[in-house]
Structure formats: C-alpha cells, structure tokens
Amino acid sequence: MKQAVILSAGEGQRLRPFTATRPKVMLSIAGKPILQYVVEALAQNGIRNLVMVIGYRRREILDYMGSGEQFGVDITYVTQEKQLGTAHALAQAKEVTEEEFLVLPGDNLIEADTIARFVMVKPEAVLVKRVDNPVRYGVVTIAKGMVKDIAEKPEEAKSNVVSTGTYAFTKRVFDFIEPELDIPDVLNSMIARGKLISAQETDGPWLDVAYPWDILSLNDAVLHRIQPNLGGIFETGVVVKGLVSVGKDTVVRSNSYIMGSVVIGNNCDIGPNVCILPATSIGDNVVISPFTDIKNSVIGSDVNIGPGCIIQDSVIDKGCVINGHFTACSGEADVKVDDEYHTVNMGAMLGGGCDLGNSVTAQPGVIVGNHSQVQALKLVSGRLPDRSLVV
C-alpha cells in the first residue's frame, strides 16, 4: 500500500461544544490534533500519498495540515459538501485513488504499530479489534478469517469484535457504493454478492472519540507514550516526576509540583505553588495562578486560571478566563447527549471563550457552551447552551 484516504469531513455533533468551531478531527489531544496522529502513523509505515476528504469547517484542516510537507507526506484534498456518510465521503475520492489504497477515519486515534501489518494485507480487508463496549461500534461476524456481516451499533452484540473503520480496498469498491451511504453497508452488499473480505485483527492502540468525556481517555492514552522534555525555566523548589514535557519559554515558578504523565505547551506561566497531577495536558500561552490543583484534565491554549482552583477530570477549551477558587471536582453524573443518557465520572466540560467569576462551583457532569459567562459565587449544573449568561 502506497496511498491512504483519510475521512475527515465530519462534524461530531455529540462532541459539542468542542466541535462548534472545529471539525472533530481537529480536537487537540496532548497538544496535537487527532488527525495529525493518523497522518504520522501512516508516514511511519511508508504511506506518504494521502487523500484527505474534508467538509465541515474544512479551513481549519487546510490551514493546519497544508500540503503535508511538514509532516513528511503529500496531501490531495477532496471535498464532501454534505456529510451524508462514510461511503459517500469515500466516493468523493474516486478520481484520485490508485488501484489499491487504505481508508482510515481521521477522528480515531491510531498508532503506527496498530496498522504496521495491515498495510501489507491484500485487499479487500477490514481491520478489527476486540473491545469492552462493542455496541458503540460496528460489530463484525467472522468465519474462517472472513467477514460475514457487520452490524452497526446493535442493541445486543454477538461478539466483542468491532470494525476500526480502517479498510484496504481496490477501486472495485466504487462499484458497490451506490446507493449506500456508509461503508459497513457497502461491505455487507459486497459480501451478499459473493466478494471475499478478510478480517485482520489488531491488539494495538485504537481509540474513538464520540462524547466530550472521551477526550480524557484519549489524552491519557497518548500521554503514556510522550518523550520527556524539560524546556523553559524552573524556579527553586519545583518538583518534577515521571513523564513530563514542558515547552519553550514556559516558566514553572517556585514550589510547584508536577507528576507525569503531563504535557505543558509553550510560553506558559505556572505557579508558584501549583500542583499538576497525571493525565493532564496544557496548551500554549496558559496562565495557572498559585495554589491551583489540576488532575486528569485537558486545558486548551490561551486559558487563564486564577488562584486556588481545583480542576479534576475536566476539559477547558481555548480562551477561557477562570477567576479564583473555581471548583470542578470529579463525580458520577448522568449526562444527556442528544437523546442518550450516560452515567460517567467527570468534572466539567467548558467550551471555548468562557468567562467565570470568582468562586464558581461546577457540579460533576456540567457542559458549558462556548462564550458563556458565569458570575461569581454561582453553582452550575446540567447543560448550558452557547453564550449562556448565569447571573
């Protein structure tokens, strides 16, 4: 395989508020968009001819990825104007694909080792993996190494083997796309007409992000594989333990404590007396004031966090201003996304550009929309739409 098609057109509505201003593939995990991890995994396996199907907020992708030269690849872009499904997205790439090619989702975290053997398989094939919660995915029925059926998000799963959304195809697949809109339906149609599709299993890292709190599990997984790098300036009394990466021009002030795995970006101002605990990512140009504790959280770029805050199992998007003594403690919560209810352990999910006054408390599971304002001493819970005002 020398070519891959990356499906990157989707919005990710269930991930709002974080996808209101960017496509799902551009969600930042440990300082990089998910899409970049996919591109790097392909490049490490020698696949540098990439076709990227873009659509929703495509300018974000174009501006960041460019020609692909900085990532050691060559990117050709095609556009899916209406996001009608994965097969419809693939059909947009028909004119620029080679005889054989891979197809990957741009919004699933995958590593080079996960696809290392798959890039050598003979099409047509699907990469599968055993998971704990198969009903979230396409459950694959396999007999003698061949796919017999894919049931998309069944009420009851016949097995724990699911499709990763990664495929090896020849151009023959385009003969089966009409009138199907999603690739699993295309595969079922191919099987019904006697085509053989092999199932190749991987035990390598593969993670999907479907809900806001999934950002935390992806972040944790990536942070376990970072390379330690202590850039910036460390004042007296700073303690650093474990896997920690600190960017250039960042200042970690006296008596702060950082226990990895942790990533801190460039030009940040941390402390003094700040405690940053494992599974935390902090973007660029972030200010964290004294006596603040952060654990298992993702803090976007250009965020300003005041003194005496406690932030656990939370995602705070870029450009938020949080005044002192903000509390977002983790706890079990029932969270509604669309018409689904999920019981999760989490703190707060804050969209970009929020402004919180002093001594605000976020109940576990709160999701606050972009550019919301919360006045001092308020308790916030549930789900707040974009540009909410809590007085």
Q: What is the pLDDT of residues 273-321, one digit of tens each?
A: 999 999 999 999 999 999 999 999 999 999 999 999 999 999 999 999 9
CA distances from 290 to 37, 50, 266, 272, 348 (A): 34, 46, 19, 5, 21
Strands 275-276 and 293-295 come out as parallel
Name the nearest CA neighbour of 187 among 156, 207, 166, 210. 166
Q: What six digits make up the tokens of 47?
A: 């696949």
Determine the Cα–Cα distance for residues 249 and 149; give it in Å rounded to an integer: 54
Q: How many Å is the maximal CA-CA distance in the chain?
A: 70
E strand map for 22-124: 28-29, 32-33, 49-54, 74-79, 100-105, 108-110
For residue 263, the model assigns a pLDDT of 96
Mean of all residue pLDDT scores within the chain: 92
Domains of the chain from N-terminus onward: 3-210 (3.90.550.10), 226-390 (2.160.10.10)
Name the nearest CA neighbour of 320 among 308, 306, 330. 306
- Give per-residue pLDDT as tens, 235-255: 999 999 999 999 999 999 999
- Give per-residue pLDDT as tens, 162-186: 989 899 999 999 988 887 788 999 9
For residue 208, the model assigns a pLDDT of 86
For residue 111, the model assigns a pLDDT of 85
Q: What six digits make up the tokens of 301?
A: 């770029």
Give me the sheet containing 293-295, strands edge to edge.
239-241, 257-259, 275-276, 293-295, 310-312, 327-328, 361-362, 379-380
For residue 383, the model assigns a pLDDT of 92
Residue 157 clears pLDDT 80, i.e. is over it:
no
CA distances from 17 to 276, 304, 315, 318, 340 (A): 25, 19, 11, 12, 16
Give strand pairing partners of 344. 333
Name the nearest CA neighbour of 372 among 387, 352, 390, 350. 387
Residue 96 has φ and ψ, to the nearest 5°, of -120, 5
Residue 152 clears pLDDT 90, i.e. is over it:
no
Give strand pairing partners of 23. none
All residues at 6 or more sequence positions from 341 whose CB lies less than 8 Å from its CB, including other chains = 334, 335
Which own/partner contact pairs does 271-276 have at CB distance under 8 Å and 24+ positions apart?
271/235, 271/238, 272/235
User: Is the peptide bond preceding residue 212 cis, with omega within 30 degrees of 0?
Assistant: no
For residue 300, the model assigns a pLDDT of 95
Determine the Cα–Cα distance for residues 366 and 377; give it in Å rounded to an integer: 16
Give strand pairing partners of 350. 316, 368
Determine the Cα–Cα distance for residues 15 and 158; give it in Å rounded to an integer: 28
Name the nearest CA neighbour of 259 among 275, 236, 271, 272. 275
Q: What share of the chain is helix, strand, coil (3-state, %, to 5)?
A: 20, 35, 45
For residue 116, the model assigns a pLDDT of 87
3-state secondary structure of 190: helix
User: Is the peptide bond preceding residue 256 cis, with omega within 30 degrees of 0?
Assistant: no
Name the pLDDT band for 38 (thresholds 50, 70, 90).
very high
CA distances from 374 to 98, 127, 138, 391 (A): 53, 46, 41, 6
For residues 64-73, average pLDDT: 93
Strands 244-246 and 257-259 come out as unpaired
Q: If 0-12 CB within 10 Å is exposed, 13-18 middle and 19+ buried, where does residue 255 land?
A: middle
Q: For a pLDDT cut of 70, what percent of the chain falls above it?
A: 100
- Helix pair angle (58-65, 34-44), 10° resolution: 50
Q: What six digits make up the tokens of 9?
A: 């057109």
Residue 155 clears pLDDT 80, i.e. is over it:
no
CA distances from 337 to 153, 291, 379 (A): 16, 34, 21
